[in-house]
Amino acid sequence: MSNNKIKKIGVLTSGGDAPGMNAAIRAVVRSCAFNNLLCDGIYRGYEGLMEGDFEPLNARSVKNLISRGGTFLKSARSAEFRTKKGRELAHQHLLKASIDGLVVIGGDGTFRGAMAFGEEFHFPIIGIPGTIDNDINGTDFTIGYDTALNTVVGAIDKIRDTAHSHNRLFLVEVMGRDSGDIALSAGIGAGAEIILIPEQNLGKERLIESLKRSKNSGKTSSIIVVSEGDKVGKNIYQIADYIENTLTGYDVRVTVLGHVQRGGSPSCRDRVFASRLGVNAIDAIIRGEHGVMIGVQNSKVVSVPFSEAVKGDNKIDKELIRVADITSI
């Protein structure tokens, strides 16, 4: 489909919500209006796409959205869209609604679905990375990551107050099943003594040695930030039990921050970032691009093929690991 046939764009959010998704939707809709294109919002991600749950949007439809967390279009994970039958149903609804191109906002699973759909039906699709985990290949950051970091650091600051008051060791679990970006950056920002991430298996013995060094240096309370995908123990509670059973004199507590990390009003950085990606997504469709994610590398907007974005080889910043090691002594 050539770019001169693009008259109407559909936009949806899929997978886990992230602060800043609304800002991205707003930018997509207003960029459509600026370029004299029609825009339909698609509710509940790929589920809504298969059910034809569409609503026309204009510049006024998205007023006062930029400061709101979550996604007003709702989000859902869809097993049916993974089947060819489900994708065929979605394609029929797009044709019926005269939608010529699609912008999908989400993470790895969202892009895999978009890649399969685009290849099967030769349909123009552009992706915008929206996930707090910051685990998408080909972009330095994802929408929601900065806000999540601020939420985590704020929570750990409060936990440190009570840890210091009672001479306690707190283990704080943060999101990041396969990526330690949140744990590493938030751990540095909050001054954690130890950071456990899936990309670097510290091991139980080194964990205990590190805690011994902290105690010998005069520290009476400590914070350990644990990414949910860390491999030291089966879960954070097992790690806590191991520490209590191995070391004497530690009063150990566990805090799992959970879904609070996904909520809240997006930071200014996430609002600007999401707006930038939304505008550039429509620019890409108008240029005739498809099957790509709009990301940022070294402060420049880039188009990254879905096949690259979903590779799953997002590397942890080794310099940050060194910074964490040095500043936690």
**Which residues are the active-site residues?**
133
Are 114 and 104 within 8 A, CB to CB?
yes
How far is CA 128 from each of CA 14, 45, 71, 147, 169, rounded to the nearest angstrom?
Answer: 11, 13, 14, 17, 39
Q: Which residues of 235-274 are buried (b: 16+ CB within 10 A; e: fewer)?
A: ebeebbebbeeeeeebebebbbbeeebbebebbeebbebb
Query: 168 Cβ partners below 8 Å, 6+ apart?
Result: 162, 221, 251, 252, 253
Element (H, E) at 105: strand 101-106
CA atoms within 13 Å, Cβ hemisphere of 287? 12
Q: Give Dmax over CA atoms of the chain in angstroms.
A: 71
Residue type, 193: E
Our CA dihedral for 48, 50, 53, 56, rounded to 10 degrees, sits at 100
The tokens for 151 are: 């939420």
128 alpha carbon, distance to own chain's centre: 11
Nearest residue to 141 (alpha-carbon basis) of 307, 324, 299: 299
Nearest residue to 311 (alpha-carbon basis) of 201, 146, 121, 178: 178
The vertex-320 CA angle with 199 and 313, nearest 5°, equals 35
The whole-angstrom separation of Cα 209 and Cα 233 is 16
Residue 200's CB is within 10 A of a number of other CB atoms, namely 17
